[in-house]
Structure 1
Amino acid sequence: MAVMDAPPATSPLAGLKARLAALFGSSNERSLTNRLAGTIFLIRVVSAAMAYGAQILLARWMGTSDYGVYVYVWTWVLLLGSMLDFGISASAQKIIPEYRASGDLDRLRGFLSGSRWGTLAASSLVSLALAALVWALSSSIDPATMLPLYLGCLTLPAFVVANTQDGIARSHDWMKLGLMPQFIIRQALIIGFTAGLFVLGFQLGAVAAMAASCAAVWLAMIGQMIALNRRLAGHVASGPRAYDVRGWLATSLPILLVESFYLLLSYTDVLVLQQFRSAEDVGVYYAVVKTLALVSFIHYAMSATTAHRFTEYHAAGDKDRLAAYVKHAIAWTFWPSLAATLVLLALGKPLLWLFGPQFTQGYGIMFVAAIGLMVRAAIGPVERLLNMLGHQNMCALAYALAFAVNLILCLVLVPRFGGYGAAAATSAALTFETVLLFWIVRKRLGLHVLAFGKKG
């Protein structure tokens, strides 16, 4: 009797290959989205591993006190640097597709150049003003944070321009060009600079760490600018430029309002914790946040990939295609986030131990913080959907209310419960924000934006 060695066409392996090919291998929009989001997620995961390693090394080299000062200043850089582009990095994903769709190349060329030079000039002026403010308030600021704060001000302009260039690159689906300089090259430079200082015998405190971070941000931004200019030169024909600054700001400022409240919501816990608890407590809490960052990266990857496509489908009037694409984006935000959360919670204690034995006291905080991240993931990148479809004012209102809830709860809970209070306040605010966004999208767009449950 003959024996058939070949597996049947319906074998589990063949079925898995077929599903993977459908998800990532075809040329339709969903497969393209999965590939681009996968690229972004991979970059962020590699970056997270590098940043995680850098934070572990810094925590061990610097000690919890200096590490807490560095975290505090770097948090301000992240917060202000993400706001001082005045929403241009996010609005680029709306403005650029609209210019391309209408064939308005003069304004497109003007935006590609003017957006970067404009944000550089504006952020430089703001940085000078902030440095003057630090000097004026020097008598009431901890001396250990003074020089790191000045270095933070010096870092801001480069950080802002890098964000703007990221938005421009993502609007062309150049995900590697947008993200690699900020999340891979910059992290590699920070690790290299700080490790070099440590090996050479320098005292690696908050000042040295901020100086290394400042140099890394500037070098990565300049390299990204050179590469982006070359890529754009081969993609957009040369010609006259038109600068519709008023139109750019009309689109960007409402989005800036949304982004600002979101950032305030994201960083309020660390900033309030710094006011009521020791630098050591801030360092432990920040280690918890960095450990859970993988979950946020999934949400970020989908948001970065889908925003400009929401604009394209809406401009084309294709409601069915838009609704299907939104559903796909939500599913691919929530379920991977759930899996990542379970893995991180299972491995949380040994991961925190890498920072130092004292950091394992933050393990319980991880469970509290994870609640808010999972609730937010359940509706996917709907804030980008609202921004791209012209409902940014309602989105801003939702974020403003969520920020107010977070701030009030932090002020009430942090003095008594420390990191647990900060995590509880943030999770409660994210839950409140998610409910509001779900309701707004349902009322304004008629879409069901929950990863589970029946549409209706």
Structure 2
Amino acid sequence: MRYGRTSMVNFLSNLVMSFSGFVATIFLTRTLGQEQYGAYVVVLSVLSWVAIAGTLGLPQAVRKRVSESDDGNYVVSGALAQLGLYAVVAVFLWIARPYLNAFMGLDATWILILMLAVRLGLGFVRNVLDGQHLVHVTSVLSPIEWTSRSIVQVALVLSGFGIAGAFAGYIVGAIVGSIIGMYFVSIPDRLPSRHEFYRLKSYAQFSWLSSVKGRTFLSMDTIILAVFVSNSLIAVYEVAWNLASLFAIFGASISKTLFPEMSKISSDEGTVDEIAGLLQVSLAYSGLFIIPGLVGAALLGDIVLTIYGPDFDVGYYILLVLTFARLLYGYMGQFLSTINALNYPDLTFYINVIFIVVNLTLNVILTWQFGWYGAAAATMMSAGIGLILGYYFAKQVINVSIPFSEVGKQCLSAGIMATVVIIGRFNTADSLPVVVVLVGIGAAVYFASLLVLSEEFRTTVADNLPFQLPSIVSK
């Protein structure tokens, strides 16, 4: 796996980010309480949707055009376009503030506008760096942002600032990440022309819907839940979602790492077979962590959820459904990333339209009928449909080879891990310290089993370690 080290750097960075967020969430849920934390989650969900209107596919277009072998100045042209979009959206938000405040349950529109500014700025910097093949830099930015955010949030919330402290931490973290990221951005020494703006528009007119698709998967259920259930249940749902997302980090890291490489090969008129090989690698390793994560959640999730508070274990079944949804969505993302890298944004546009319609329809109907279980089921079902569509359309533009053998070995290794963890749980008391030990033992058993079962995994590990392990290389 040529890009294994970059993927691992991205993964470890996101793991640090998730850990800092994990600790901060525990403090927030226990200090703010489920009701106030649920209100904070609703505001963040509104921000996420507003951010889509403030980008309209521009980040994906910037990442794509910057990654190509082109002398155009897409950094400055993209920045100007981003500034204009933000100004328009900010004005509309201020006009609509009475309705927004009523929906959010807080007088927070002015905070929303400020959070939107820092979110768009940081997102733009990240996409420019990704396009300039500096994925390892953006990988480091994420834990810096989240750690800064978490430190400020915990400090302010514990100091008595309440939910305002949580918002302030979000803003400070984004500003810190943006300033550091800007240091590494290379800006071409020529003024942008109308051609650059046109090329950004030509890609963004299709790619904007991928943002809607992504946000639909990430928070459509939260928005719909805000209509039908209490903020307390939303807080539990969000915690379950964050845990499920933790397992999906590595698959997302692979996609993020390989996209600029696929895009460059495509723009350089490289062979489609080379891109097909990268797709096969991404599919082989997309489930590396989330497959055992799903098994682990089934065995230990009920205890893990109690870390956030005594009433959070009611989200156990939600955690399982959402983790499986993340597994399906991760494989779907590999197909769509490849299609976009091959410069077929029109195909992903069709996939995204269907995904959004299905997700929205299922979320409204199933949440209305079955509450938060319906929301989780809607997320899972739409991810499954998106995966099928991604596979179908990817086959239209590239030779798709599914690595069933490698995925099967991961499942078998997870099964061996499950056996050990079940024996351990039945012979010990249910407590958080015991669960931590069982998680460590389970992870060790899983990877040891995979090393024995999979020659490809052994080779990948040996090729990407900064030092040689004779016992692995020699096998």
Q: Note whether the superposition's TM-score is higher than 0.5.
A: yes
Q: Which amino acid aligns with 1:214?
A: I
Residue matched to 1:46: 16
- Say if 2:133 and 2:260, in contact at 8 Å, map to a contact too: no
* Residues 195-206 of structure 1: pairs in structure 2 closer than 5 A: 195-200=154-159, 202-204=160-162, 206=163
Q: Distance in 2 between matches of 1:415 and 1:80?
A: 24
* Residues 179-258 of structure 1: pairs in structure 2 closer than 5 A: 179-181=139-141, 183-200=142-159, 202-204=160-162, 206-225=163-182, 227-229=183-185, 232=186, 238-243=189-194, 244-258=196-210
Residue matched to 1:371: 324
Residue matched to 2:84: 121
- Say if 2:77 and 2:192, in contact at 8 Å, map to a contact too: no
Residue matched to 1:168: 128
- Say if 2:216 and 2:359, in contact at 8 Å, map to a contact too: no
Residue matched to 2:30: 60
Q: Aligned-pair distance for 1:428?
A: 0.5
Listed one character per residue, the Cα deviations across residues 219-246 of structure 1 (whole Å, up to 9, x for unaligned) are 4323322x134xx26xx6x345435212
Secondary structure in 2 matching 1:86: coil
Residue matched to 1:74: 44
Q: Distance in 1 between matches of 2:190 and 2:358?
A: 49
Q: Which amino acid aligns with 1:127?
A: A
Q: Aligned-pair distance for 1:386?
A: 1.1
Listed one character per residue, the Cα deviations across residues 136-161 of structure 1 (whole Å, up to 9, x for unaligned) are 565x446x4222x4312211122112
Q: Distance in 2 between matches of 1:299 and 1:409?
A: 26
Q: Which amino acid aligns with 2:145?
A: R
Secondary structure in 1 matching 2:237: helix
Structure 1 residues 172 and 203: CA distance shift in structure 2, 3 A? closer
Q: Aligned-pair distance for 1:188?
A: 2.0
Residue matched to 1:292: 244
Structure 1 residues 298 and 267: CA distance shift in structure 2, 3 A? same
Q: Aligned-pair distance for 1:448?
A: 2.1
- Say if 1:273 and 1:418, in contact at 8 Å, map to a contact too: yes
Structure 1 residues 333 and 94: CA distance shift in structure 2, 3 A? same
Is 1:89 the counterpart of 2:40? The answer is: no
**TM-score for both structures, normalised by structure 2:** 0.79
Bigger mean CA offset, 275-284 vs 161-170: 161-170
Alignment RMSD: 2.3
- Say if 1:405 and 1:429, in contact at 8 Å, map to a contact too: yes
- Say if 2:203 and 2:345, in contact at 8 Å, map to a contact too: no
Secondary structure in 2 matching 1:357: coil
Listed one character per residue, the Cα deviations across residues 226-267 of structure 1 (whole Å, up to 9, x for unaligned) are x134xx26xx6x345435212211112211122222322321
Q: Aligned-pair distance for 1:55?
A: 1.1
Residue matched to 2:288: 335
Q: Which amino acid aligns with 1:317?
A: G
Listed one character per residue, the Cα deviations across residues 104-145 of structure 1 (whole Å, up to 9, x for unaligned) are 2xx2xx21223124313321331232132123565x446x42
Residue matched to 1:425: 378
Q: Which amino acid aligns with 1:272?
A: I
Residue matched to 2:464: none
Q: Which amino acid aligns with 1:66?
A: Q
- Say if 2:67 and 2:133, in contact at 8 Å, map to a contact too: no
Runs of 4 or more consecutive aligned structure 1 residues displaced over 4 Å after TM superposition: none
* Residues 365-444 of structure 1: pairs in structure 2 closer than 5 A: 365-378=318-331, 381-442=334-395, 444=396
Secondary structure in 2 matching 1:292: helix
Q: Which amino acid aligns with 1:284?
A: V
Residue matched to 2:117: 157
Q: Distance in 1 between matches of 2:53 and 2:9?
A: 25
- Say if 2:53 and 2:89, in contact at 8 Å, map to a contact too: no
Which of 211, 219, 233 in structure 2 is aligned with 1:267?
A: 219
**TM-score for both structures, normalised by structure 1:** 0.82
Q: Which amino acid aligns with 1:373?
A: R
Q: Distance in 1 between matches of 2:197 and 2:228?
A: 42
* Residues 304-343 of structure 1: pairs in structure 2 closer than 5 A: 304-315=256-267, 316-343=269-296
Q: Distance in 2 between matches of 1:293 and 1:356?
A: 19
Structure 1 residues 343 and 372: CA distance shift in structure 2, 3 A? same
Structure 1 residues 84 and 337: CA distance shift in structure 2, 3 A? same
Listed one character per residue, the Cα deviations across residues 41-94 of structure 1 (whole Å, up to 9, x for unaligned) are 111111011111111111111011100000011122233335523323222332
Q: Which amino acid aligns with 1:293?
A: S
- Say if 2:13 and 2:139, in contact at 8 Å, map to a contact too: yes
Q: Aligned-pair distance for 1:372?
A: 2.0
Q: Distance in 1 between matches of 2:326 and 2:156?
A: 36
Bigger mean CA offset, 58-67 vs 302-311: 302-311
Bigger mean CA offset, 41-50 vs 371-380: 371-380
Q: Aligned-pair distance for 1:199?
A: 4.2
Q: Distance in 2 between matches of 1:380 and 1:450?
A: 14
Residue matched to 1:27: none
Q: Which amino acid aligns with 1:287?
A: V
Gaps of 5+ in 2: 407-475
Secondary structure in 2 matching 1:335: coil
- Say if 2:145 and 2:174, in contact at 8 Å, map to a contact too: yes
Q: Distance in 1 between matches of 2:402 and 2:110?
A: 44
Secondary structure in 1 matching 2:390: helix
Residue matched to 1:145: 106
Structure 1 residues 378 and 277: CA distance shift in structure 2, 3 A? same
Secondary structure in 1 matching 2:54: coil
Q: Which amino acid aligns with 1:123?
A: Y
- Say if 1:128 and 1:153, in contact at 8 Å, map to a contact too: no
Q: Distance in 2 between matches of 1:80 and 1:38?
A: 32
Secondary structure in 2 matching 1:354: helix
Structure 1 residues 336 and 188: CA distance shift in structure 2, 3 A? closer
